[in-house]
Amino acid sequence: MVKASSAPGSKSSLNDPENAEPGGNSFQGGRKSDLLRHVTPTVTAVMVDAGFFLKRARAIFGSLSPDLAAEKVLHLALDHLNDSSGRRTSRLYRIFVYDAPPASWKGHTPLKKDSVDFSKTEIAKWRNEFHKKLRGHRKVALRMGEIPTNHVNWQVRPRVLKELTSGRKKWNDINDEDFNLDLRQKGVDMRLGLDIASLAYKQQVNQIVLVSGDADFVPAAKLARREGIDFVLDAMWATIRPDLFEHIDGLRSVCAKPSKGRA
């Protein structure tokens, strides 16, 4: 595994061996190396896996309101346009955020068969407000997948399952609180991969920053790099797999580093 402490700048970029991002288009120095770095302006698309971002944000910042979480997304994306000294070196193309609407499933609890409407839960209200705030920001494009109702299932919580298999708990002792709802997003990864391919083939950007830690995006990253895109990963200080690290041009986390107990 590639440890989180390797970021930022753990892997050299295409333009600068010391930073994960290339320079922009404002030539300020007299050295030939400066001129070489700033001939071509850097246009950056920032792609955020919202599920991953929110999970890491809770570990780093604690509980966030929907509007503050949306602001964190925006600030993280804009920080990737700056170099390590805080100078703006890149121009933003767009911030793409990938998520799915909260579950609108109506059904019954697994044991007591009490009616439940997940569209009215606090989690659903939070997620809807988060999406609303994101839509209100300029340069933000929200790409929505879905949660098919035929993929909604109750599952025994891992902790409870461990107690059952070890004999510390009996099946007759479990209740509805020992289950959680298995909600699986569909179409989110596909939309992200298609957007990466479209940006690369149309040459709309020359740098992509992906906020995620999922190795499923390796094929998309490889495609972008073959098309000459500088592909930077922001895993928000999470540990990533070596096969993902192999197929990126830079590993850079710009948010605060989580405390040891919350990493």
For the chain, how far is it from start to end, CA to CA, in angstroms?
A: 15
What pLDDT score does 26 carry? 41
**Helix/strand/coil percent split, the chain, to 5:** 40, 20, 40
Residue 216, pLDDT above cutoff 90? no
What pLDDT score does 96 carry? 98
Q: What is the pTM of this model?
A: 0.78
Q: Looking at domain 4-147+184-262, which of 3.50.50.60, 3.40.190.170, 3.40.50.1010, 1.10.101.10 is its CATH number?
A: 3.40.50.1010
Q: Report the alpha-carbon distance of residue 234 to residue 213 in Å, rounded.
A: 8
pLDDT (tens digit, 9 = 90+) per residue, 100-130?
A: 998 887 888 889 889 888 888 898 999 999 9
CATH 3.40.50.1010 residue ranges of the chain are 4-147+184-262
Higher pLDDT, 145 or 260: 145
Residue 17, pLDDT above cutoff 50? no
Residue 28, pLDDT above cutoff 70? no
Q: Report the alpha-carbon distance of residue 159 to residue 161 in Å, rounded.
A: 5
Which tokens sit at 98? 């990938």
- Segment 154-182 shows an average pLDDT of 89
